[in-house]
Structure 1
Amino acid sequence: MRVAFQPHQNGKARGPLADAGAADGEQEAASTLFADAMGSHKNSASHRTVDDQSSAMSEQSGSVTR
């Protein structure tokens, strides 16, 4: 993800998904945003059991149609 969004430097293209028209700081922010979002998503599922309480909550409230 970091390589794909690597900011352009001195007019040189770097990452294929970086926005060459954006300011340097904006390119860096986009790179960080997507890399961190991907890391957060992958990390939680890879290293711990995630309880999906949304289905349990909806069953308790009676909003589940059967």
Structure 2
Amino acid sequence: MRIIVNGEAQTVAATTLEALLLELGYQGAIVATALNRDFVPCEARADTPLAEGDAVEIIAPMQGG
């Protein structure tokens, strides 16, 4: 399916937000996620389905000041 990830169009096989993170190589990473501008907590990712055209944001924490 075609979705937008961090502003870039991508074709993915994942059908849930959790599966998307695995597919994109974020396994075990500490990240924040949003689906169509709504925050999705990590415990809800496995139950959060993706649909054609969805916009996903994946944000990793940064250090520094």
Q: TM-score range by the shorter chain?
A: under 0.3
Q: Of the two structures, which has the highest relative contact order with CA contacts closer than 8 Å and spacing of 6 or more?
A: 2
Q: Normalising to structure 1: TM-score of the pair?
A: 0.24
Between Structure 1 and Structure 2, the one with more helix by share is: 1
Structure whose CA Rg is larger: 1
